Chain A
Amino acid sequence: MLELFKNLRQSNEDQIDELLSAYLDGMLTSDEQATLGARLRREPALRNRLEGLRLTASVLKDLPEVKIPRNFILSPSMVAPPRPAPRPRRRQAWPVFGWATAAVTLLFLLAFAGDVFVVAPSLHPQPTVMVREELPRAIPSSDRTVPPPEAAALTEKEGAPETEAPAESAEYMAVATEEVEAEAKAVEVVVEGEVVITLEAEAPMEMMEPDTATAAEAPAATVLVEPSEAMAGGGEAPADEEDERMYSAPTPPEEGTPMSLRQATPEPAAAEVGQAVITTPEAAAEGAPVLVSPPQGWTEEAGEYELETTVQEFSTPDAVALVPLHVTPEVEGTEPVAERVMPWLRLLELALGLTVVGLAAATVITRRRGV
């Protein structure tokens, strides 16, 4: 309440001072001046108030002028157009987008490489089997027409007692072929005497190399692999059974084409698991297997051996080359993991690819705008 009274009083005094100040300067209308004049004659306090304002204005007017410290004339450099202030260096955004694009691209490439080289191959394991390859029969110069082989048979070469050993060990029956066709030949592969795999191959047998010899590439070859266990006590496989598991004539060699053959070495007594058996048509006809020494590099676990790739002529009309195929025994439990990972990996590749495209576009746009 007191504050309000003070404000009202102050406001009233301000109004009075404003009237008096304007009265001093002759800024009132004639009516206002007459009215204020009458009040001034009646109110001494109002007159004192007016006198105080008048005196203050008067002494201010008498303030002396201060001497200037120097001349303020302008020089050309003072009035030169001001240089525009350098634009603050803003952190540009496009380099950030560029680095992000590079990083995401690297991640995408890593994911793609993992897909191509790790996950995808693990879903399609390559079997390795021993493939008995029927080499094209070397047709004597006197007689090039050789009937196709009809059946595989174990033949016995010299050192017949040694042939008994195969019965106790893994036997590899080789079937000689009399003619080798140039067209694609199926290769029948018997793994461990139980599974028959038929493989298609186009290349002639003479061009085969051991490390690339797969069931699909093995030309005209027939292999019968019978582990010793399977053949324990079995002795020679019956020809009929062999017929069921083997087949057709391989591609006949081109005239003069040398063939490779690892000749059987007559060590039938040392025949063990892994020994390859090579037979000739004549020996096959006689039913005697021809044992050969284990190929170099043969191991029981690997179940493969290396075949000499050098092609050389041989005098025997028939020969069998063993073409290794690679078999990766299936290990239970690995496939499901790859199958589980594949969809997620593909999804990751797709996401990373889209991100790369988006970041690359953002980089280009921001760089063009100078952001």
Chain B
Amino acid sequence: MDEQTLIKAAQRGDLNAFNELVLQYQSRVYNVAYRIMGDGDSAADATQEAFISAYRAIGGYRGGSFRSWLMRIVTNACYDELRRRKRRPTSSLEALYVTDAAPSEALVNGAEKPEAYAQRQDLNRALHAGLQTLPVEQRTTLVLSDVQGYDYREIAEMTGASLGTVKSRLSRARAKMRDYLLEQGELLPSLYRLHNE
């Protein structure tokens, strides 16, 4: 069934239809939550809460981009989880960065050298750590824009901000991330080399 049919069925109370939508969007939703929250457990909690809230609020969906509607719920769930975590700080034994479950295809097929693979892993860890240094609103905007690829208008719908605010937050987030990477010593030259290859 197409997305609109599933949405209508879910609006009629069909939980199975909604779970079909969950299966379609859960990976993207989890990744957004992971980049915003910074760790896997918090991201899983925020993802589950987001889908529960989405099912309960699906009756209020009036059309338009279901993805934008769902991401709005995800960002709000992440903000709520961050506030809860701030009130009750807990120490997590899990590393902040979750390594890729599977090595890249380029490494597997020999297209990428192991040194390059290792450097990329270091870069990914630095980027993930750099994201956690940003204010949550700038972090969310940068993840939705540069990580997930949403445009300014969609980001404005997802975050409930104006276009001008999205533009400002994104520019500052990029500039801070640039400066963070330059502080990592040899990392930026590696970035140039990797990008140009």
When A18-B167, A61-B147, A74-B52 are in contact, do A68 and B174 touch as well, CB less than 8 Å? no
26 CB-based A-B contacts, threshold 8 Å:
A17-B171, A18-B168, A21-B174, A21-B175, A22-B167, A25-B145, A25-B170, A53-B174, A56-B178, A56-B181, A57-B174, A59-B123, A59-B127, A60-B142, A60-B146, A60-B177, A65-B27, A66-B98, A66-B100, A68-B26, A68-B47, A73-B19, A74-B18, A74-B19, A78-B52, A79-B56
Mark B156-197 against chain A: 1 for CB-CB distance below 8 A, else 0: 000000000001101110110110011000001001100100
Query: Is A89 an interface residue, CB under 8 A from the partner?
Result: no
Give the contacting residue for B171; candidates A18, A69, A71; CB below 8 A.
A18
Query: Is B104 an interface residue, CB under 8 A from the partner?
Result: yes
Residues of B within 8 A of A106 (CB): none
Give the contacting residue for B178; candidates A18, A22, A52, A66; CB below 8 A.
A52
Residues A66 and B34 in contact, CB atoms below 8 Å apart:
yes
Measured in the bound complex, the distance between the Cα atoms of B27 and A69 in whole Å is 10
Residues of A within 8 A of B52 (CB): 74, 78-79
Residues B22 and A21 in contact, CB atoms below 8 Å apart:
no
Residues B100 and A67 in contact, CB atoms below 8 Å apart:
yes
Closest to A51 in B: B192
Mark A42-75 against chain B: 1 for CB-CB distance below 8 A, else 0: 0000000000110111111101111111111110
Query: Is A361 an interface residue, CB under 8 A from the partner?
Result: no
Residues B15 and A79 in contact, CB atoms below 8 Å apart:
yes
Give the contacting residue for B101; candidates A21, A67, A71, A74; CB below 8 A.
A67
Residues of B within 8 A of A13 (CB): 175
Residues of B within 8 A of A66 (CB): 30-31, 34, 40, 98, 100-101
Residues A68 and B30 in contact, CB atoms below 8 Å apart:
yes
A-B interface pairs (CB < 8 A), number: 117
Residues of A within 8 A of B124 (CB): 63-64
Residues A72 and B26 in contact, CB atoms below 8 Å apart:
yes
CB distance from A15 to the nearest CB of B (A): 9
Query: Is A27 an interface residue, CB under 8 A from the partner?
Result: yes
Mark B131-170 against chain A: 1 for CB-CB distance below 8 A, else 0: 0000000000010011101011000000000000001101
Residues A21 and B170 in contact, CB atoms below 8 Å apart:
yes
Closest to A79 in B: B55
Residues A55 and B15 in contact, CB atoms below 8 Å apart:
no
Residues B152 and A25 in contact, CB atoms below 8 Å apart:
yes
Residues of B within 8 A of A292 (CB): none
Measured in the bound complex, the distance between the Cα atoms of B151 and A68 in whole Å is 25
Query: Is A14 an interface residue, CB under 8 A from the partner?
Result: yes
Query: Is B44 an interface residue, CB under 8 A from the partner?
Result: yes
CB distance from B61 to the nearest CB of A (A): 16
Residues of A within 8 A of B104 (CB): 64
Residues of A within 8 A of B146 (CB): 56-57, 60-61
Query: Is A20 an interface residue, CB under 8 A from the partner?
Result: yes
Query: Is B118 an interface residue, CB under 8 A from the partner?
Result: no
Interface residue tally for chain A (C-beta within 8 Å): 33
When A14-B172, A25-B152, A69-B40 are in contact, do A63 and B147 touch as well, CB less than 8 Å? yes
Mark A71-92 against chain B: 1 for CB-CB distance below 8 A, else 0: 1111010110000000000000
Measured in the bound complex, the distance between the Cα atoms of B80 and A81 in whole Å is 20
Measured in the bound complex, the distance between the Cα atoms of B31 and A42 in whole Å is 41
What are the 6 A-B residue pairs with the smallest beta carbon separation, nearest first?
A: A21-B171, A60-B146, A18-B171, A67-B101, A73-B19, A17-B175
CB distance from A157 to the nearest CB of B (A): 112
Query: Is B76 an interface residue, CB under 8 A from the partner?
Result: no
Residues of B within 8 A of A56 (CB): 146, 174, 177-178, 181
Residues of A within 8 A of B95 (CB): none
Closest to B163 in A: A27
Closest to A82 in B: B56
Mark A7-47 against chain B: 1 for CB-CB distance below 8 A, else 0: 00000011001101110010100000000000000000000
Measured in the bound complex, the distance between the Cα atoms of B177 and A20 in whole Å is 15
Residues of A within 8 A of B170 (CB): 21, 25
Measured in the bound complex, the distance between the Cα atoms of B37 and A168 in whole Å is 121
CB distance from A122 to the nearest CB of B (A): 72
Measured in the bound complex, the distance between the Cα atoms of B43 and A67 in whole Å is 12
CB distance from B2 to the nearest CB of A (A): 19
Residues B172 and A73 in contact, CB atoms below 8 Å apart:
no
